[in-house]
Copies of this chain bind each other. A is one copy, B any other.
């Protein structure tokens, strides 16, 4: 059996849910061209070689002007024959980010609107996508019960070959020693 892959099959899209824990608001945008009037988390495609968290922080800044830092991975969606992926598959990952700045200066080419919206409102509104609504409810739960109830934590570990590092995401358990 030939175990060698011929090519990459997936593009990686990443969105960032920037949550202001002091007031329960989250940063959302409405696209200029797609899914009008639907609030979404800012995001876009990973550049080659770019880590998931880096994409989230970069895309949030490019679209909204808000600086943030990576906290965790919240949700993963796999979709095949994605219309924007040239018939390939799409892995869409939503991360939780913490804001470092709060002033919005959004990209008017990409976005029609950009706001800090109450998470509770985002979880209720029909003006959003199913996945955004779902993640809003996850985040509300995290805000109330602690984000450890919804997070997939990230850890960097050295690769066996190459001396490079890879990013490993899984749930935290009390007995997990650092290795």
Which residues of chain A have a CB within 8 Å of any CB of chain B? Answer: 1, 3-5, 7-12, 35, 44-46, 48-49, 51-52, 62, 73-81, 83-86, 88-89, 91, 107, 109-110, 129-131, 133-135, 137-138, 141, 149-152, 157, 159-162, 164, 166-171, 173-176, 179
Contact = CB atoms under 8 A, between A and B. Distances in A.
A113 to B, nearest CB: 18
Contacts of A89: 8, 12, 48-49
12 contacts: A1-B107, A5-B86, A10-B12, A12-B91, A75-B170, A76-B170, A83-B162, A91-B91, A134-B176, A141-B173, A141-B175, A141-B176
Contact of A76 (B73, B151, B164, B173): B73
For this chain, the copies found in one complex come to 2
A64 to B, nearest CB: 14
Contacts of A110: 1, 3
Contacts of A35: 160
Contacts of A86: 5, 7-8
A157 B134 CA distance: 11
A150 B173 contact: yes
A152 to B, nearest CB: 7
Contacts of A9: 8, 10-12, 46, 48
